[in-house]
Amino acid sequence: MLRFDQQVRLPPLNDADYVHDVAYDYYGNRLALCTSGLVIHIYSAPGLAEPKDASNDGWTEIARMRQAHKGPIWRLSWGHPESGEPLASCSDDGFINIWDSRGRSIAPQGGRNHDSGFPQWQKITFLSCDGPVMDVRFAPAPLGLKLAACTFDGKAKVFECNSGLDLKHWTPDDLETTKKRTARRQKASR
């Protein structure tokens, strides 16, 4: 039985490294966290990690993406299982990275992260925004595979995946902020 009252044992973090966000996947079986040290960690719930270890009754780290961005990583968001449960991360570097464990990649192939011994999640693609990205969220499944993001300067974008089977191609759509819309209406009424 899955218990949520168990603590996640984090790897040792240096004094300058802080956890910025944690996010459960859709079923609560995996937990992703990101740090100011540009690392994303993924944990599996007790009893679900491979290989099965009877002595392991806590959350188990199953993946680690080092240098996941070029700036501090602020937020994480899991996609719906219909799309293979992609993981989105956003950062000060102005990019949203889409990660997946299915093995397709724009990065060099390697299978395992030799640095940590964990299976390597692959960066499927990256989406560009104008300035540091402060938050990112997947839309509920009935709306399709969409991702909303906001930047430090108050801009918002919605990205829509062209095909749920191919996470590499996304179409951006800028959202007008209320301030811009009000200013435009006032200008038009003069």
List the chain domain ranges. Answer: 19-189
Exposed e or buried b for every residue in 169-187, given b needs 16+ CB within 10 A? Answer: ebeeeeeeeeeeeeeeeee
50, burial (CB in 10 Å: exposed 0-12, middle 13-18, buried 19+): exposed
Q: How far apart are CA 151 and CA 93, in angstroms?
A: 11
The mean pLDDT of 57-73, rounded to a whole number, is 87
Q: What percent of the chain has pLDDT over 90?
A: 47
Determine contact, residues 133/91, Cβ cutoff 8 Å. Answer: yes
The mean pLDDT of 8-27, rounded to a whole number, is 79
Render pLDDT for 103-156 as a digit per residue (tens, 0 to 9): 534 444 344 444 456 666 889 999 999 899 999 999 999 999 999 999 999 889
The mean pLDDT of 12-32, rounded to a whole number, is 85
Q: What is the reported pLDDT for 178?
A: 54
> What is the β-pairing status of strands 19-24 and 95-100?
unpaired
Q: What is the reported pLDDT for 13?
A: 65
Residue 42: count of CB within 10 angstroms of its CB: 23
| Average pLDDT value for the chain | 80
Q: How far apart are CA 84 and CA 80, in angstroms?
A: 7
Per CATH, the number for 19-189 is 2.130.10.10
Q: Considering only CA atoms, which of 67, 86, 66, 64 is closest in space to residue 76?
A: 86
Q: How far apart are CA 45 and CA 51, in angstroms?
A: 13
